[in-house]
Structure 1
């Protein structure tokens, strides 16, 4: 560079340059072997660093989101479930969908308060669809882990720990079910009513209540039947700071048929 070739033998040079975007600036050059390097606009460099930082953050967010979705346990049928793909066939269905959407949008506050949600109503009315849409949004929008499981699957997870070859302990399974920020528990009321099932449900609900962890409960039973299944104590705890939404419209499956 002839404009600075006469500079110093010290290997350092400063001269005025012009950036098309930011105007005049003092360019700093450093000699590297037989070449002069540097001279970039400092504002452009800062913008480049900021873009790189945002891209790195976005890559880490995407990686974390994929990892949490793998742990979410969402059934294959509902892997792409969203609020927009939920068909609100009645005004009540639309109101229920918006309640679920608002719950998800305000999840940080729900998590802090331990706010539960009960989705109850007939088979095929879209309860699991909305619950899985909520779980996916909690992961994507708030970067908090959500996990879907049915009662029967939760019970099987606990029972597997009794096998001597199991790599997990009963305590570890309960720690996961009780500690995940949002637990979606499906098919409540379908269980056989065995003492072991009641123990698993009580342990999960009791620990989540104590730790103020929100739970979304899905059931085909009405309020009274659900109370009879879970017991008044558990229902009182679920609804202490929670909401029960009734899915009163006809089954989508029946309409499709």
Structure 2
């Protein structure tokens, strides 16, 4: 039984007809209404309500991603490519393809290396924003911030969070974007960052790792065991080996 039949079943038909739908109106209290108009209004209200829910969910996803404020509007379309720089076009293309694969459920990793000012964070945020708009959960964080978050759990005022629970939290995102890898203090902090990377590998979750290291130095810093795991489910490597674009803009 459709919605119009339900309305007709519960109300008495009148002699008045709807000029739009050419059907008899029904008596609803002191009002005469067209069943078809009523259904259209209900469906419109439901669509508006769902749109509002979708908007709220989207805002929650974006808020939880903790994207850098400076890159709030960074996307693939406004990533500026120098016509003479084939590397930039290739970097964007690789990140676009990687984003599509993650959206399709592929669990591979991506490493993006290059000196400062080459647009690595812009491309990373473009990846995040695209996936967030598709309803996926993404988290952006720097390596230093990640290590500090875990170390904060050692304090007495950590509100019940443990090192294990924080590491577990960072395994739940569909994609973790770990920026500025290698700029944190060494030894203990590096070990904590590696714990998260191992945990995400064990959970079958993809990670985007961004660093100013060269690929050779990054591979050495990760170590043989973690480097092997990072490649296991597939690895995209993006090398941004051009000059600092921020300096160029100022000049």
Q: TM-score over 0.5 for the alignment?
A: yes
DSSP 3-state at the match of 2:53: helix
Flag structure 1 segments of 5+ consecutive residues without an equivalent. Answer: 1-10
The 1-side partners of 2:116 and 2:141 are apart by 17
2:92 corresponds to which residue? 97
Distance 1:17 1:185, change over 3 A: same
* Equivalences, count: 237
Q: Does 1:39 align with 2:39?
A: no
2:6 corresponds to which residue? none
Q: Does 1:88 align with 2:88?
A: no
The 2-side partners of 1:185 and 1:149 are apart by 5
Q: Pick the structure with greater CA Rg.
A: 1
Distance 1:27 1:158, change over 3 A: same
1:12-31 residue pairs with structure 2 within 5 A?
13-15=12-14, 17-22=16-21, 24-30=22-28
- Residue 75 of structure 1 deviates from its aligned partner by 1.6
Equivalent of residue 159 in structure 1, options 151, 157, 160: 151
Equivalent of residue 205 in structure 1, options 191, 197, 208: 197
Q: TM-score, normalised by structure 1?
A: 0.85
- The answer to whether the Cα contact below 8 Å between 1:16 and 1:25 also exists between their aligned partners in 2 is no
DSSP 3-state at the match of 1:171: helix
CA distances 1:171-196 after superposition (whole Å, capped 9, x unpaired): 221112122111100111223321x2
The 2-side partners of 1:20 and 1:229 are apart by 75
DSSP 3-state at the match of 1:186: strand
- Residue 129 of structure 1 deviates from its aligned partner by 0.9
- The answer to whether the Cα contact below 8 Å between 2:18 and 2:24 also exists between their aligned partners in 1 is no
Q: Does 1:233 align with 2:210?
A: no
The 2-side partners of 1:172 and 1:197 are apart by 17
Distance 1:214 1:14, change over 3 A: same
- Residue 62 of structure 1 deviates from its aligned partner by 1.1
CA distances 1:97-122 after superposition (whole Å, capped 9, x unpaired): 1222233244332xx33111111112
Q: Does 1:188 align with 2:186?
A: no
- The answer to whether the Cα contact below 8 Å between 1:113 and 1:212 also exists between their aligned partners in 2 is no
The 2-side partners of 1:12 and 1:148 are apart by 56
- Residue 16 of structure 1 deviates from its aligned partner by 5.4
- Residue 208 of structure 1 deviates from its aligned partner by 0.7
Distance 1:163 1:27, change over 3 A: same
- Residue 238 of structure 1 deviates from its aligned partner by 1.8
Provide runs of 4+ in structure 1 moved above 6 Å.
none
The 2-side partners of 1:254 and 1:12 are apart by 73
- Residue 78 of structure 1 deviates from its aligned partner by 1.2
- The answer to whether the Cα contact below 8 Å between 2:144 and 2:185 also exists between their aligned partners in 1 is no
- CA RMSD after TM alignment: 2.0
- Residue 239 of structure 1 deviates from its aligned partner by 2.4
1:5 corresponds to which residue? none
